[in-house]
Amino acid sequence: MAEKNLEDIQSFPILTTEVGNTARPATSGITSGTSLGQIIESSLREVLGWRPRASDPKGFLAALNQAFSLKETEGHTEWAWIQRSYAVQQDMGAVTGAQASIYARAKAALDQSLPLLEGLTPLRADADREDNDAVRAIVRSRLTELVYELGQVGGPRVGRVDDLFRSLLGATLVPADPAGTVSGLFGQMREEFGFERNSVNTIEEEQDLTNFVILVDQVVALHGTWVAQRPFFEGAPGTNVFLGTQLVLLSRALAVVAESVQETYFVMDSVFLGSAERQTTPLPGGVKLTVAELLGWVEHFASDEAPRVIREGGKDGVITLQPTVETLSALVNAILDDDTPSGGTSRQARLNPTPGFHTPRVQRALRELHVNLQETGKLFNQIKRLPPPEVTWVYPGEGSDSETAKLVNLHGKNFSDTLSMKVTLEQAKQNPINGTIKETTDSWMEVCFDLSQKPCGYWNVVVKTPGGTTQLQNGFKVNGYGVSGTAQALIPDPKPKK
């Protein structure tokens, strides 16, 4: 490898170019040694979020449309620049959908909590005002950072949110008695302010203590929402992800792929594999494409086709494009040089004798493109439309109204989306009996029901998921007190071995 790198340096010019899109100070002017073209290119990349190419007027127009919004006002056109971090909102997604609802919930909790926090006064006669103000400021900062994190474009950082909740509520996170058992910053506040029930002497003091309890309850309730929705942000196996949040990540990943193609063009130019030669150079590995055709396909897919299909088709559009991402990733992987002994010739090099294509710098650029396509494919595959569940039979099919923890086995298929699944027993004009899922596979699920003092008779077994709802009519019977649960006739054997 060292010999090949040395040969690469000796045979082709060293790459020297100014990179980066850091804004220049307005007062710096044009300094000597900096070409006007470099300044213009850097400014265009900063404003448009796009690398300019003289041979790509369509790409320039698309970048302009994404970076600026136009509207007709009183006979003239007004334009507004969309900052790069918000440009994806015009493209595919932003803080929308489920994340927007969670953020609005957190923002409302913050708006209600801050006045309570500012109005707290200590119940201790020996309270230190400076210590009180310090812990109040820290709690305020933590709460504000928590809400800000939940509103991050592209989804909150899961570890960061967990850390903020832990700092506020302590290791226990869900205290049984907020006024007496909460730890973390709220526990420190309770100690320094003297928020103890035996310290209450007046109505004002009682209201002050209650405001503290409500403040803690707000954060505990928000933490409960976060625990329920957390798996959808981290892409846990067996779950869908939030579409709006995922589309932001997809937009960024596709932009990286498009930029990798531009870098590959630049590297190929440096080894004299120019635009014309790329159009006539066949790909190695038996692929019936030229270099220009494959790279043009990848660039068009990442910069135009995929964003347009996703914007118009939503989740169905993402699912439709998944095979295309896998195909492009496989094609790029197929043209990479295989490892050969020193002095040997790879199969790809024999099929495609163009020297520049097999230089370490070109192969490195192609490997980076392949990695970026693989990572983009992972994001595509995290969005799926799961089929609705189906329940075919239940065992045991009966239970007694004296049982507080009746274990029931549901058999069918499409039970994989467990984190968002809800199982109930339902009967007309009766409150549903909620079940707790204990174990599950794709075709079998164990659920626990509290049947104590529930109305006797037949109940429908209902399974709800984002993919749909199914029910087994009269699938379970609640018997009167003293009747033990027995299997119905023609019911197959109990829980199968996993």
CATH code of the domain containing 452 = 2.60.40.10
Inside any domain, residue 366: yes
**Tens of pLDDT along 97-137?**
677 778 888 888 899 999 999 998 888 888 888 988 999 99
The two structure tokens encoding residue 464: 């709800």
Query: How would you list the strands of the sheet with 398-400, edge to edge?
Result: 390-395, 406-413, 444-449, 433-440, 422-426, 457-465, 468-479, 398-400
Residue that terminates a domain, selected from 326, 346, 381: 381
pLDDT value of position 297? 93
**Residues 248, 227: one domain?**
no
pLDDT value of position 21? 45
**Tens of pLDDT along 310-322?**
877 878 888 888 8
Asked if residue 408 lies in contact with residue 396, where contact means CB atoms within 8 angstroms, the answer is yes
Of 109-113, 359-363, 366-370, 417-421, minimum mean pLDDT range: 417-421
pLDDT value of position 485? 40
Inside any domain, residue 2: no
Rounded distance between C-alpha atoms, residue 180 and residue 195, angstroms: 8
Helix (H) or strand (E) holding 154: none
Phi, psi (degrees; rounded to nearest 5) at 428? -55, 135
Asked if residue 231 lies in contact with residue 419, where contact means CB atoms within 8 angstroms, the answer is yes
**Tens of pLDDT along 195-218?**
888 877 788 888 888 899 899 888
Please calculate the CA angle 216-222-227 and round it to the nearest 5 degrees: 125
Q: Which residues contact 40 (CB under 8 A, 6 or more apart)?
A: none
Please calculate the CA angle 238-371-319 and round it to the nearest 5 degrees: 40
The two structure tokens encoding residue 430: 């009766």
Inside any domain, residue 30: no
**Residues 356, 452: one domain?**
no
**Residues 140, 61: one domain?**
no
- pTM > 0.85: yes or no: no
Helix (H) or strand (E) holding 473: strand 468-479
**Residues 104, 218: one domain?**
yes
CA dihedral 52, 53, 58, 62 (to 10 degrees): -20
Please calculate the CA angle 80-82-86 and round it to the nearest 5 degrees: 150
Rounded distance between C-alpha atoms, residue 268 and residue 238, angstroms: 42
Rounded distance between C-alpha atoms, residue 1 and residue 339, angstroms: 10
Inside any domain, residue 414: yes
**Residues 375, 395: one domain?**
no
**Residues 424, 462: one domain?**
yes
Give me the number of domains the chain comprises. Answer: 4
**Tens of pLDDT along 420-477?**
678 999 988 888 899 888 888 878 888 999 988 888 889 999 988 766 788 888 889 9
**Residues 117, 219: one domain?**
yes
Rounded distance between C-alpha atoms, residue 133 and residue 188, angstroms: 12
**Residues 214, 268: one domain?**
no
Residue that terminates a domain, selected from 186, 202, 234: 234
pLDDT > 60? residue 75: yes
Residue that terminates a domain, selected from 170, 204, 234: 234
Domain of residue 418: give its range.
390-479
**Residues 63, 185: one domain?**
no
**Residues 177, 148: one domain?**
yes
**Residues 221, 268: one domain?**
no
pLDDT > 70? residue 33: no
Give whole-number Cα distances, 124 to 130, 140, 212, in Å: 14, 21, 14
**Residues 118, 216: one domain?**
yes
Inside any domain, residue 312: yes
Residue with the larger pLDDT of the pair 13 and 359? 359
Residue 441 DSSP label? -
Inside any domain, residue 446: yes
Please calculate the CA angle 230-235-237 and round it to the nearest 5 degrees: 110
Inside any domain, residue 191: yes
**Tens of pLDDT along 222-261?**
888 888 778 777 765 545 677 777 888 888 899 899 999 9
Specify the 3-state DSSP secondary structure of 435.
Answer: strand
Rounded distance between C-alpha atoms, residue 279 and residue 285, angstroms: 17
Inside any domain, residue 207: yes
